[in-house]
Chain A
Amino acid sequence: MFRPVKLTRVTIQIPEDYISAVMAILGDLRLLHLIRVEETPLGRMGYVAHVNTSLLARYDVLLVRINSLLEDLQVSGPTPVIGKTPRPDKAIFRLEEECTAVEKESLEVLEQRKNLRSTLFEHQSLIARLRLLEPVGVELDRLYRLRYTTFHAGLIPEENLERLETSLGEIHHTLIPIDRKEGRVVLLAMALKEDNAVLLRALKSAFWDPLELSTELQGNVTTILERLTGEEQQIEDDLAELEKKCKDLAHQYGGKLRQLREELLISRQLILAQEKFGQIDHTYLLTGWLPVSLFEELRQRVMKASSDNALVEQIVPEEVKEVRSGILTIPILFNNPALIRPFERLTTLYGTPSYEEVEPTGFLAITFLLLFGMMFGDVGHGGVLCALGYLIFKKMYRYLDYGIILMECGLSAIVFGILYGSVFGLEDLIPALWMHPMENIAYFMKISVVIGITMISTGLILNLVNILHQHRYGELLSASGLAGALFYWLITALAIRYFLIGPPTALEIMFAKTAGGLLFALMILQRPIRQLLARRSRTKKARFSVPGIGVTFLESLVEVLDELLRYLANTASFVRIAAFALAHAGLFMAVFTLADMVQRAQGSGFFYWLTLVLGNVVIIGLEGLVVSIQTVRLEYYEFFSKFFQGGGKPFQPLFEEKESGPNSLKS
């Protein structure tokens, strides 16, 4: 849990004939972080493979067809799990055949539905247009039959009506406003047929929106509307029947289509992965990072698939030349249990851990929940958070991780609520198994500082582990290394001795002074001395005065003082745990006082409870946010800053890359 998954660098050389089979195996294993051969010495020499574009094009066309079917049939549901990854060059034939079979059954029905929908839309828009003319109840065919007069029906903005009237002053005309609709006037404009051009120009400049009516419409508007409404009903009935057929088709072929689409996406991804391969004549070269535990399985399967014609090599990461020279970074594959995994988001928000350092998510999760629970301890509020988290967990798949974090925080708050004996701020419902924060302020503050000392000490120990692991032995004597840690523990031990037992003895003081002085001197002098030795070894001269040594000494002094002061400040910063727990309890008191005041003023129990409910909602929202921010702050600034360097690269398994191209069309 505290280390990433152990990886190995794997290189596969495979004849061209077997590349598809190997790609299928890689698809099955999933956990391979491919390295672009182009970025390796071989790739730079030009041995780069190319994507099979004709095959990719076939997949793209097929993807569009399947997506279109899925969309038209309105198929949705979870992504199916593909057991065995298909060979992309073979699979396309089967996928095309199966897609064609579904199309044969569905396309005709879908086409009929599309046409009927279009007819219905035309009908509905004609009805909507005619409804605008309903108030005058004109007979349209009579208007169309007029010999000397022309007419136009449409809408214009209200403010343009007066100008339109003025602009038509020179011709015989009549403008009949029928109705008003969203800032526009429904208008019937009439003029002599010989003035039709003038009328049309005037209407056009008045932002005329014509109601396109068919000359085939016979009779009174109301009668036409009745007829059209009847027809509309018939179309709707036919459409409903077709919709049912489509639903049946979706039920029948939905699962199959989703399966086809998923297989297609995997195959397509595998083809695209080819651009990361290398190629020398008819031999392909693949290289990447793989969990050590999967190597043997990969080797055996590749050898079997290639009839022992492949070469599968494993290299320990530390021995990879590019890694040692710093050109290549080993990716990090997190290895945390399900309940801790969501916290990886918080870790990566700070930085991606490097392969060589301690993976801090486990520590983060444990301390995060501890700190949050202490600051937000209440059974009721914890329960609400839990319920909210569960709701997110169940309903919002995209925010699944946050749902889990929220549930865990809620549980932690419940545990501390039981320890504090607090249920929605009521402290007399259940007994406090530990203490009531408001009654033990000084004690709570001491506990907070102890938690701070423990977390900072853990951070310092993790830093020592990182230093040893990464062979940065020079840093052991620095203020952030072993010397600094010892100095911190020395001061901490003295403080604990003073508060728990009493003032230290003369011998203890003497020891602390000597040890502290030595450590302090060591921390300050280690850098100038190392600089001195480095220069001496370079120049081979026994000189003890090196230019710039004074500045280095001064810098070292300032750095040490800064670092030690930061230890003190970081420890004191943990007092905020008590402060925010007290603020939480204090807010309850404020809400209860307010509720009492409201009850006295309004004389009703309803307002008392309303104030309590609203107050609790505000506390959960506001205090929940503040406590989360404070917890993250303590984690990042007080804890992570002691050991976490980051700068790592996330592991990118074969099928987690962002979809692009036709995949994203209707996915």
Chain B
Amino acid sequence: MLLAAARYGYPNAKVRALRSRKLTEQDRHFLLDAKDLTSCLSYLATTSYSPFLPDPEKGIPELSALERQLARPLLDHYAKVVHSLRGAKERELILALFRRFEAENLKIVLRALFAGFSRDAVSHLLYPVGHLSDLDWDTLWACKSIGELLEHLRPDIFGRSLQHALPQFEAQGRLFPLEMALDFSCFRLLRQAVSALGKRYDRTVTEKIFTSYIDILNILWVIRLKIDYGLPPEEIVNYTLPEGNEITLDCLNRLSRVKDIAEFINQLPPVFRHELSGIRDWGKIGPALETYFLKILARIFSGQPFHIGVGVAYLLEKEIELGGLITVLQAKAKNLTVEEIGNRLPRQFSEIGHVQAG
């Protein structure tokens, strides 16, 4: 315990200090209550997001650009958490989590290459990954073809997965296989980073977080692929992530073949059935699952505090906060009512507000 305290004392204090800057119950109230996007942004200027907002005199920027600007504090916090950690394996774990943003940027590069857009034309869609990213972005942007770009990626990071998906990209003539390969690659890296952790407690805590995260993502992906994209079951199962916590491959197979939402919820393991009971709208499943995940993350902050899970939980919590904030801004831009917005947000954000540190 003493060793763990020495190892994680500083990161733990750092994370809790960062967590204190999260949006509060009061912030949530005023953001939801704002009469339009302009007043929503005016209020946001009084929060910790203030330095990352554009100059109000220049008018409201495009939402897509604003979303990426608002991601800056989250990515800065990634850098801070990484720098606060002493162990290389722990840093590697946070970096593996961070690679999801690199993957998102790589998707933009791929789309730009595919559609023939220049870097400048899509730069506002990129996450500001900064110095934490060790990919040579200038070289990647200089590539003239997707094949050339893949040659420049390290096999152990994204390269191998993308190479494996290349034949299907060529056969289908669309980017979907490559984008899925990037997502799979991120979670493969996360699994490797978790397995490499030296302390068993660290492994147990992070496995709990990530397997729950995978469960939630798998449920949401099945819904998206089935309802939004209309894919057949035999394809859906192959586009899910392995090694979840409660949800097995068989369960995913059953979920991909259900006829309606009631059957869908019925096929889920008890814990999710309980969380989603009473829901009759596919759109409400996402916020409900985020609420459930936030509860899991909040529990990480209670009990023994000296472990890597604290940093991981905070960064995921912050990411959900960012997602919620973007949902609010998008909804304000469409002039939705407070109730409509509330339905699209996890309960932690819309009702119970800021989860106090345990």
- Answer yes or no: do A and B interact: yes
Q: Mark A451-482, 1 if CB is under 8 A from B, else 0.
A: 00000000000000000000000000000000
Q: How far is the CA of A157 from the CA of B171 in the complex (A)?
A: 17
Minimum CB–CB distance from B213 to chain A (whole Å) comes to 18
* Contact A207 B235, beta carbon cutoff 8 Å: no
User: A207–B165 contact, CB under 8 A?
Assistant: yes
Tell me, yes or no, whether B242 is within 8 Å of chain A by CB. Answer: yes
Contact call B242/A166, Cβ cutoff below 8 A: no
Hey, which chain A residues are within 8 Å of B240, CB to CB? 163
A111 within 8 A of B: no
What are 20 inter-chain pairs, A to B, with CB distance below 8 A?
A157-B161, A157-B164, A164-B238, A166-B249, A166-B250, A166-B253, A167-B238, A170-B233, A170-B234, A183-B160, A183-B164, A202-B235, A204-B171, A205-B231, A205-B235, A205-B239, A207-B167, A207-B181, A208-B167, A209-B167
Whether B111 is near chain A, meaning CB under 8 Å from some CB there, is no
On whether A198 and B234 interact (CB within 8 A), knowing A162-B242, A183-B160, A204-B171, the answer reads yes
Given A157-B161, A162-B242, A163-B240, answer yes or no on A201-B235 (Cβ-Cβ < 8 Å): yes
A168 to B237, CA, bound (A): 9
Please state if B234 and A207 are interface contacts (CB–CB under 8 Å): no
Q: Does A245 contact B (CB under 8 A)?
A: no
Residues of B close to A210: CB separation below 8 A: 167, 171
A169 interface residue per 8 A CB criterion: yes
Is the C-beta of A206 less than 8 angstroms from some C-beta in chain B? Answer: yes
User: Is A159 interfacial (CB 8 A cutoff)?
Assistant: yes
* In the assembled complex, B232 has its CB within 8 A of some CB on chain A: yes
Nearest A residue (CB) for B188: A159
Any A CB within 8 A of the CB of B168:
yes
- One of A183, A184, A202 near B238 (C-beta < 8 A): A202
* Cα distance A208–B167 in the bound complex, in angstroms: 7
Instruction: Annotate A311-327 by CB proximity to B: 1 below 8 A, 0 otherwise.
Output: 00000000000000000
From residue A129, how far is it (CB to closest CB) to chain B in Å? 12
Considering only CB atoms, which chain B residue lies closest to A167 in the complex? B237
Distance of A187 from chain B, by nearest CB (Å): 13
Shortest distance from the beta carbon of A194 to any chain B beta carbon, whole Å? 14
Closest to A159 in B: B242
Determine the distance from Cα of A210 to Cα of B170 in the docked complex, in whole angstroms: 12
Q: Is A160 interfacial (CB 8 A cutoff)? A: yes
What B residues does A201 contact at CB under 8 A?
232, 234-235
- Interface bits B176-211 vs A (CB < 8 Å: 1, else 0): 010001001000100000000000000000000000
- Chain B residue nearest to A198 (CB atoms) is B234
Q: Give the shortest distance, in Å, between B291 (CB) and chain A (any CB).
A: 28
Q: How far, in whole Å, are A540 and B161 apart by their CA atoms in the complex? A: 85
A205 contacts B161, C-beta separation under 8 Å = no
CA distance A207 to B160 in the complex (A): 12
Residue of B nearest to A163 (CB): B238
Per-residue CB contact flags for chain A residues 198-233 toward chain B (1 = under 8 Å, else 0) read 100110111111100000000000000000000000
Complex: A202 Cα to B249 Cα, angstroms: 15
CB-based contact A167/B167 at 8 Å: no
- Which residues in A have their C-beta under 8 angstroms from that of B167? 207-210
Chain B residues with CB under 8 Å of A207's CB are: 164-165, 167-168, 177, 181
Interface size class of A (residues with CB under 8 A): 20 to 34
Which of the listed residues B164, B232, B242, B249 has the most CB atoms from chain A within 10 Å of its own CB? Answer: B164
Are A202 and B164 in contact (CB-based, < 8 A)?
no
Closest to B171 in A: A204
The distance in angstroms between the C-alpha atoms of A149 and B253, with both chains bound, is 24
- Whether B234 and A202, one on each chain, are in contact in the complex, defined by CB atoms closer than 8 angstroms, is yes
A554 to B161, CA, bound (A): 71
Q: A183-B164, A184-B164 are in contact. Are A163 and B234 (CB under 8 A)?
A: no
Chain B residues, Cβ within 8 Å of A206: 238
Contact A166 to B177, CB < 8 A, known contacts A204-B168, A204-B171, A207-B168: no
Contact of A163 among B161, B181, B249, B257 (CB under 8 A): B249
| Contact B168 A167, beta carbon cutoff 8 Å | no
A167 touches B164 (CB 8 A): no
**B172 touches A (CB below 8 Å):** yes
- Note all chain A residues with C-beta closer than 8 A to B253: 166-167, 169
Contact B164 A209 (CB under 8 A): yes
Q: Which of A156, A163, A210 has the most CB of B within 10 A?
A: A163
| Complex Cα–Cα for A205 and B229 (A) | 14
Interface residues of B in 240-269 (CB under 8 A from A): 240, 242, 249-250, 252-253, 257
- With both beta carbons as reference points, the residue of chain B lying nearest to A184 in the complex is identified as B164
Asked if residues B161 and A160 are in contact (CB atoms below 8 Å), the reply is: no
The residues of B that contact A208 with a CB separation of less than 8 Å are: 167-168
Question: Min CB distance, B68 to chain A, in Å?
Answer: 29
User: C-beta contact mask, B315-338 vs A, less than 8 Å → 1, else 0?
Assistant: 000000000000000000000000
List 11 extra interface pairs beyond A163-B238, A207-B165, CB under 8 A: A163-B237, A166-B249, A166-B252, A167-B234, A169-B253, A170-B234, A183-B164, A201-B232, A205-B238, A209-B164, A210-B167
The answer to whether B235 touches A204, judged by C-beta atoms less than 8 angstroms apart, is yes
- Of chain B, the residue at the smallest CB distance from A162 is B249
Closest B residue to A156 using CB positions: B164
A417 to chain B, nearest CB (A): 45
- Residues of B with C-beta under 8 A to A167: 233-238, 253
> Which residues on A sit within 8 Å (CB–CB) of B168?
204, 207-209
Once the chains are docked, how many angstroms separate the CA of A75 from the CA of B120?
42
Determine the chain B residues whose CB is within 8 A of the CB of A156 once the complex forms.
Answer: 164
What residues of A have a CB within 8 angstroms of the CB of B242 in the complex? 159, 162-163
Q: Do residues B164 and A205 form an inter-chain contact, with CB atoms below 8 A?
A: no
Residue with the highest number of chain B CB atoms closer than 10 Å, among A157, A184, A210: A157
Nearest residue (CB) in B for A182 is B160
CB contacts (< 8 Å) of B257 on chain A: these are 170
Q: Which B residues lie within 8 Å of A168 (CB)?
A: 234
Q: Check A160–B234 contact: CB distance below 8 A.
A: no
Q: Which 5 A-B pairs have the closest CB atoms?
A: A205-B238, A167-B237, A209-B167, A205-B235, A202-B234
Distance in Å: Cβ of B248 to nearest Cβ of chain A: 9
B249: chain A residues at CB < 8 Å are 162-163, 166
A169 surroundings in chain B (CB, below 8 A): 253
Distance (whole angstroms) from the CB of B2 to the closest CB of chain A: 40
Interface string of B72-91 (1 = CB under 8 A from A): 00000000000000000000
Q: Which residues of B contact A184 (CB under 8 A)?
A: 164
Q: List chain A residues, Cβ under 8 A from B181.
A: 207
Shortest CB–CB separation between residue A174 and chain B, in angstroms?
A: 15
Point out the residues of chain B lying under 8 angstroms from A160, CB to CB: 238
Q: Give min CB distance, A64 to chain B, whole Å.
A: 20
Taking each of B161, B165, B168, B249, which has the highest tally of chain A beta carbons within 10 Å of its own beta carbon? Answer: B168
| Smallest CB separation, A541 vs chain B (Å) | 54
- Within 210-239 of B, Cβ neighbours of A (below 8 Å) are at 231-239
Separation of A233 and B2 alpha carbons in the complex (Å): 71
Q: Which residues of A contact B164 (CB under 8 A)?
A: 156-157, 183-184, 207, 209
* Most chain B Cβ neighbours within 10 Å, of A156, A159, A162: A159
Most B CB atoms within 10 A — which of A167, A184, A202, A209? A167
**Nearest-CB residue, chain B, relative to A157:** B164
Complex Cα distance, B257 from A169, in Å, reads 11
Task: Provide the bound-state CA to CA distance between A208 and B171, in Å.
Answer: 10
Nearest neighbor of B160 in chain A, beta-carbon distance: A183
Tell me, rounded to whole Å, the shortest Cβ–Cβ distance linking B130 to chain A. Answer: 31
Name the interface residues of A393-447: CB closer than 8 Å to any CB of B: none
Which residues in chain A, 114-164, are within 8 Å of chain B measured between CB atoms? 156-157, 159-160, 162-164
> In the bound complex, what is the Cα–Cα distance between A68 and B71 (angstroms)?
51
Residues of A within 8 A of B238 (CB): 160, 163-164, 167, 202, 205-206
Closest to A183 in B: B160
CA distance A206 to B233 in the complex (A): 13
Closest to A208 in B: B168
Bound: A163/B165 CA distance, A: 16
CA–CA, A210 to B160, complex, Å? 17
A170: chain B residues at CB < 8 Å are: 233-234, 257
